[in-house]
Amino acid sequence: MAQRQPLIAGNWKMNLNHLEAIALVQKIAFSLPEKYFAKVEVAVLPPFVDIRSIQTLCDGDKLLLKYGAQDLSAHDSGAYTGDVSGVMLAKLGCSYVTVGHSERREYHNEDDATVNKKVKAAIKHGVTPIFCLGEQLDVREAGRHVEHCTDQLVAGLKGLTAEQVRDVVVAYEPVWAIGTGKVASSADAQEVCAALRVKLAELYGEDVASAVRVLYGGSVKSGNIAELVAQKDVDGALVGGASLDADEFAKLCALAAGGPLP
Ligand SMILES: O=C(CO)COP(=O)(O)O
């Protein structure tokens, strides 16, 4: 069984001004002693406009913190006003990019086919996709959440080789738990994350399935992270609101690394 290093990624969404963004990165990096970075990978996903400065900061201070973006175009270049390509993200040293976040699916009408193209674009340029999926409340209430999530998984990874899938990060984010303060129970998170891994094994083999990191996202905080990452198939978290507060985020990362608090 592969050893999966937990990943805690902070999705800042459309928040903070430029100076606040730089200050947040500095504070997180200096609040978390180096030993934690060996146990847990920590990444921030700021808005596009902050990435260049964060790159300079991380390179200059040799920070162990990784960074990435929240979306990318399915195309490499061309007449796509307002879009940012995987080529550009790779040049900026992005390690990760979220793809298929439920807010992109809802507000930008991204369907599974678009998400699939974006996952491929990220892989093509060596930026690891954090491929997001998850059910709405009505789907869960109808008891169809596992099927819904495994269907999204299959569609988003369509056409990829097993070797390519090995490097994808999957994030299970039930839509009803995002920004609502209603965290899924650790058993709920484990149920879906385990089902996603079973589906990965079916499609790409046990070896790949045991290597892929599956994160949970939705109202994750320092108060619930330990219980979530204690689940067998939960390999970290995609954190929204709690990633905007340096003390809270550092605490959350330290707890994911098994503590003690810095
Ligand atoms: O959407 C999320 C992370 O991508 C979760 O957001 P919250 O942690 O604010 O619920």
CA 164/CA 175 separation, integer angstroms: 27
Does ligand 1 have an atom closer than 6 angstroms to the CB of 157?
A: no
CA 127/CA 71 separation, integer angstroms: 11
Catalytic-role residue among 41, 103, 110, 173: 173
User: How far, in Å, is the centroid of ligand 1 from the Cα of 176?
Assistant: 10
The ipTM estimated for the assembled molecules is: 0.99
Query: What is residue 244's DSSP assignment?
Result: G
Does the structure show a pLDDT above 90 at 196? yes
Binding-site residue numbers are 11-13, 179, 219, 240-241
Does ligand 1 have an atom closer than 6 angstroms to the CB of 175?
A: no
User: How far, in Å, is the centroid of ligand 1 from the Cα of 88?
Assistant: 25
pLDDT tens-digit readout, 40-54:
999 999 999 999 999
pLDDT at residue 2, rounded to an integer: 55
Does ligand 1 have an atom closer than 6 angstroms to the CB of 133?
A: no
Does the structure show a pLDDT above 80 at 260? no
Does the structure show a pLDDT above 50 at 1? no
Rounded average pLDDT over 86-105: 98
Q: Any catalytic annotation for residue 101?
A: yes
Which atom from ligand 1 is nearest to the alpha carbon of 98? 4
pLDDT tens-digit readout, 150-179:
999 999 999 999 999 999 999 999 999 988
> Pocket of ligand 1, candidates 103, 169, 178: which has the most ligand atoms within 8 Å of its Cβ, to mutate?
178
**Domain map of the chain by residue range?**
7-256
Contact 123, 168 (CB under 8 A): yes
Does ligand 1 have an atom closer than 6 angstroms to the CB of 218?
A: yes
Tell me, rounded to whole angstroms, the distance of Cα 240 from its chain centroid.
10
pLDDT at residue 182, rounded to an integer: 80
- Please choose, from the candidates 255, 261, 260, the residue with its C-alpha nearest in 3D space to the C-alpha of residue 42: 255
Does ligand 1 have an atom closer than 6 angstroms to the CB of 239?
A: yes
Q: What are the contacts of 76-83 at 24+ separation with CB within 8 A?
A: 76/121, 76/124, 76/125
Which atom from ligand 1 is nearest to the alpha carbon of 219? 10
User: How far, in Å, is the centroid of ligand 1 from the Cα of 165?
Assistant: 24
Contact 163, 204 (CB under 8 A): no
Does the structure show a pLDDT above 60 at 95? yes
Does ligand 1 have an atom closer than 6 angstroms to the CB of 179?
A: yes
* CATH superfamily of domain region 7-256: Aldolase class I (3.20.20.70)
Does the structure show a pLDDT above 80 at 125? yes
Which residue intervals of the chain are DSSP H helices?
18-31, 34-39, 48-60, 86-91, 102-107, 112-124, 137-141, 145-156, 162-166, 186-204, 206-211, 225-229, 246-256
CA 220/CA 46 separation, integer angstroms: 18
User: How far, in Å, is the centroid of ligand 1 from the Cα of 241?
Assistant: 6
